[in-house]
Structure 1
């Protein structure tokens, strides 16, 4: 580890800082955030949002009825490899244009915002369920939560995340290391200790755990297997959160793409191991597990006993809470929509005006949302905007289980719409793409094709109901929620006089290449201020 007082290390640090500012300026934006996220912490924010164990606990009810053990093991493996393709395609874009807008650049802000807010809602709703599961375990199964009680806990969790995410960037960055350690320790407890403590009556044979296909919903086995992908896809999701802290990261063009790829890779491997262990230790009565309020809690209870389960479950709840605390700042809105101009010809841009209506710049109250606190250098207004929308989405719980479950599917579908657009725009936008340090070379195009085809197919499949014989009560309402928001976006864009079609002209840059007095840091200390003219000249010389 380099000595912080080493002149060479300090010189290298300053060079990286200047390079980050120059690259951001070339994209049209001035430096407004503190760059406090180190590479490990950039990885940590994506890995903590994935939150393996609590995420798997939240979505076991998708795997169990749609394949059981084979879906948990082989479905996870197949889906993880495909998600890695998506992640590598996104990492290339993040390396070339590391701004906090993330997948917003090319064309899908509202899709990205919808998906991320749905992710906040689904993560915090899962956390509320897990809190209530802990209470149920502690009460010896005498307590059963009601929908209003669940919603009250959910609101408290969302609001507490809002408060936490209004803290300074330095605090949020340092928390990521703690999150990584807790996540890995919890994974190790399950992978190593669960098989040791599981009684013989709950240990499954290899043939049952890996090959006995269980189908409770009535779809053909092949389609049911694909439906089970929602579990790994929801778990290994929102990995673009690393991009959303790009303007707060050191050496962002390298740290951000590798943060994405490493988070997906580590989550894929550890998640596969966890699912393998669960498949061998969950017993054969999968229908009883599926009917329980929290299948993983039942598996732990059967293996660990009540007291040990309560202790482990408290850690699960804590890690799930950490997921939400990392997710809220990742949803923060930024001014970055520059990639659409860089990837799409001006003449082609007219054909994507409808898509542009879902940009951040076209959101209601965008001027207020863009405000950054001068004290913490965090977008406080955006945090509370997202928190309020997440609470509103939580009201779906009162419409029934299928309605709130739409938040899980919507978080994947909305994000996949947002992820697909920039990847497509890169190859068919009509402008030359300049790769960053992370580049796949000749594998770039095949990886992009696989990613877009996969995301398109899964976005459609996740709109299907859980059963082919559906009723009003068990209909999949994801299409209603997503369609409703997209409809409102169209109205906002085309409404006479006030619609975005009358005033939206493209991304608003905060830096002009001809500006000789480029403001590099709004938050600089005295030492940095004394050298600002030198940095400005350095930036200008690169245009």
Structure 2
């Protein structure tokens, strides 16, 4: 393909992206520098909705568009806040994991004699969050190119573990297939079945933030295609490589489960590596794991800042006028980035309330997003006769209904499970505080929504149009009715602003 043809094609795609965003009611404010492969490290599920409406607002935008007029503002409000707190909790959980891994490296280097305090770990955590904020304030071109490095290192790390660990593990620590694939050890006092279900938090946390790609869709070229396919690639690679890594660990971990879980390093995987590679080999491997975790944190920060920017663009967050600002030099929402960083640091401070309090951050990053996903998906089907859905470039076709039912049922079931403590007989210190933190945020958001005179119920109208350079407080059905009564916008413009699937 000649250079001229490639250039013409690139310009055509750029015009199509901008026109699609204009149909959703928004002007182009981000630079589109992400390609499909650069989405893989920052994205995980939501496919059809992402293809039909690739906007940074994502879930709450879809919810508002797919819900009836009576409920759309309230549901969009709830989804927006659940998505925002879930995304910020995602930053906190990933970066807290990175801080713990760094402290584990110090423990490995000292042969287990170093045991970090909560204050030391929190200090490292704050440094990681602040560095991620600085990275995500860079220009979109820089952020997009960094994703290539992230993808390559993640794949390389998985392959190294899959190949090197079996080669280095002593024969006495290698497990048989019957043990690796069939053994079940319950270290808690819950019945085996429920203990097994509780263990789902780890893998579901790993592949959560399905909508991360959507939040940076306004920075992607050919977003209607790139976003859903980027999500598919992320899930596909993560699922296959993650399964292979876990199987490798099961075959090479030995049978001292309690010793591994009670490791002085504070990280069971670090103990498995130490048993196989020794100190120096483990430090080499562990350094790459830290790098991979660190990279994931910057990607989550990127997605969360775009979600906050989009929600502020529609006036729903406190200090929205300050958050909805694009830096004139980097063309990135710098204020939103620092807002997310501050929120993540505040959540991380829960460590001083106890181990279970900070563990709630990991559960919130799953349950809060599950609330947002479930409402968005359910709205598509509960009011399917009213919302006039038109699929985008990517569609599940006849499988849509079944997938929606299974998805919502699964997410609601798992959310309830993750509110339970890890032990059946618990106390105030060992209680699971996920429901307290998440419930508190959602309740406060509802109090603000219904607050007399100043609450969102009096002024929040959902996504507002910015494509003409201003932000009228009318949207969807109300905007169409207004034009019928003699408003300045045409009926076609009103319908275009509502969403491409109307």
> Is the structural similarity TM-score above 0.5?
yes
Deviation at 1:335, TM superposition (A): 6.3
Would the aligned equivalents of 1:104 and 1:359 in 2 still touch at CA under 8 Å? no
> How far did 1:104 drift?
2.5
1:54-89 deviation per Cα after TM superposition (whole angstroms, max 9, x unaligned):
xxxxxxxxxxxxxxxxxxxxxxxxxxxxxxxxx3xx
| Distance across 2 between alignment mates of 1:104 and 1:41 | 24
8 A Cα contact 1:215 1:224, kept in partner: yes
The aligned residue for residue 306 of structure 1 is: 279
Over residues 23-70 of structure 1, what are the superposed CA-to-partner deviations in whole Å (9 max), with x where a residue is unaligned? 1100100101001111111223227xxxxxxxxxxxxxxxxxxxxxxx
Displacement after TM superposition at 1:497 (Å): 1.9
Separation (CA, whole Å) in 2 of partners of 1:183 and 1:230: 21
Contact conserved, 2:158 with 2:245, CA < 8 A, in 1? yes
Deviations 1:257-308 (A, max 9, x none): 1111221111011111111011111111111111221000000000111101
Distance (whole Å) between structure 2 residues aligned to residue 258 and residue 285 of structure 1: 42
Find the partner of 2:414 among 447, 451, 458. 458
Separation of aligned partners in 2, 1:381 and 1:439 = 35
Q: SS at 1:331's partner residue?
A: helix
2:337 corresponds to 1:383: yes
Which residue of structure 2 aligns with residue 103 of structure 1? 59
- Answering whether residue 145 of structure 2 is matched by residue 139 of structure 1, we say no
* Contact 1:109-1:360 at 8 Å conserved across structures: no
What SS class does the counterpart of residue 305 from structure 1 fall into?
helix
Q: What is the CA deviation profile of residues 100-142 of structure 1, one whole-angstrom value per residue up to 9, with x for unaligned ones?
A: 1122211211101111111100001000000011111112222
TM-score, normalization by structure 2: 0.88
**What is the CA–CA distance in structure 2 between the aligned matches of 1:32 and 1:180, rounded to whole Å?**
26
Q: C-alpha separation between the residues in 2 aligned to 1:386 and 1:176?
A: 20
Question: Hey, what's the Cα distance between the residues in 1 that align with 2:169 and 2:380?
Answer: 50
1:320 paired to 2:293? yes
Structure 2, unmatched stretches of 5+, are 64-75, 472-491, 497-502
What is the CA–CA distance in structure 1 between the aligned matches of 2:310 and 2:404, rounded to whole Å?
Answer: 22
| Distance in 2 between residues matched to 1:236 and 1:325, nearest whole Å | 16
Gaps of 5+ in 1: 48-86, 338-357, 516-538
Taking the aligned partners of 1:291 and 1:214, their CA distance within structure 2 comes to: 14
Alpha-carbon distance in 2 for matches of 1:513, 1:489: 29
Q: What is the rounded CA distance, in whole Å, between the counterparts of 1:359 and 1:104 in structure 2?
A: 12
**Secondary structure class of the residue paired with 1:362:** coil
User: SS in structure 2 opposite 1:361?
Assistant: coil
User: CA contact under 8 A between 2:207 and 2:235: conserved in structure 1?
Assistant: yes
User: 1:464, 1:201 → 2: CA distance?
Assistant: 37
Structure 1, 297-306 or 282-291: larger mean CA deviation: 282-291
- 1:17 partnered with 2:3: no
Q: What do the CA deviations read for 1:378-435 (whole angstroms, capped 9, x no partner)?
A: 1111100010010000111111111111011110001111111111111223211111
Residue 334 of structure 1: CA displacement? 5.5
Matched position secondary structure for 1:214? coil
Cα deviation for residue 359 of structure 1 reads 10
Bigger drift between 244-253 and 358-367 goes to 358-367
Counterparts of 1:271 and 1:403, CA distance in 2: 28
Look up the match of 2:449: 493
Q: Which residue of 2 aligns with 1:284?
A: 255
2:392 aligned partner: 436
What is the CA–CA distance in structure 2 between the aligned matches of 1:17 and 1:512, rounded to whole Å? 19
1:171 aligns with 2:138: no
Alpha-carbon contact 2:56-2:215 (below 8 Å) kept: yes
The structure 1 residue matched to 2:35, chosen from 38, 62, 66, is 38
Q: Report the alpha carbon displacement of residue 506 of structure 1 after superposing the two structures with TM.
A: 2.8
Alignment correspondent of 2:302 = 329
Compared with structure 1, are the counterparts of its residues 397 and 513 closer, same or farther at alpha carbon in structure 2 (3 Å cutoff)? closer
User: d(CA) in 2 for partners of 1:14 and 1:513?
Assistant: 23
Which of 1, 25, 30 is residue 28 of structure 1 equivalent to? 25
Residues 334, 360 of structure 1: 8 Å contact kept = no
Match of 1:509 in 2: 465
**Cross-structure match for 1:349:** none
Is residue 335–residue 508 contact of structure 1 (8 Å, CA) maintained in 2?
A: no
Check conservation: 1:128, 1:154, Cα contact below 8 A: yes
1:323-358 CA distances to partner (integer Å, 9 max, x unpaired)? 111111100235657xxxxxxxxxxxxxxxxxxxx9
Q: How many residue pairs end up in the alignment?
A: 455
**Partner of 1:506: helix, strand, or coil?**
coil
Is the deviation greater in 501-510 or in 163-172?
A: 501-510
Q: Over aligned residue pairs, what C-alpha RMSD do you find?
A: 2.0
Decide which of 231, 248, 262 is 2:219's aligned counterpart. Answer: 248
Deviation at 1:360, TM superposition (A): 6.1
Aligned to 1:217: 188
Runs of 4+ in structure 1 off by over 6 angstroms are none
TM-score by length of 1: 0.81
Pairs within 5 Å for 1:315-394:
315-332=288-305, 333=307, 361-394=315-348
State the alpha-carbon separation in 2 of the partners of residues 41 and 126 from structure 1.
23
Conserved 8 A contact 1:110-1:359 = no
Cα distance, 1:505 vs. partner?
2.5
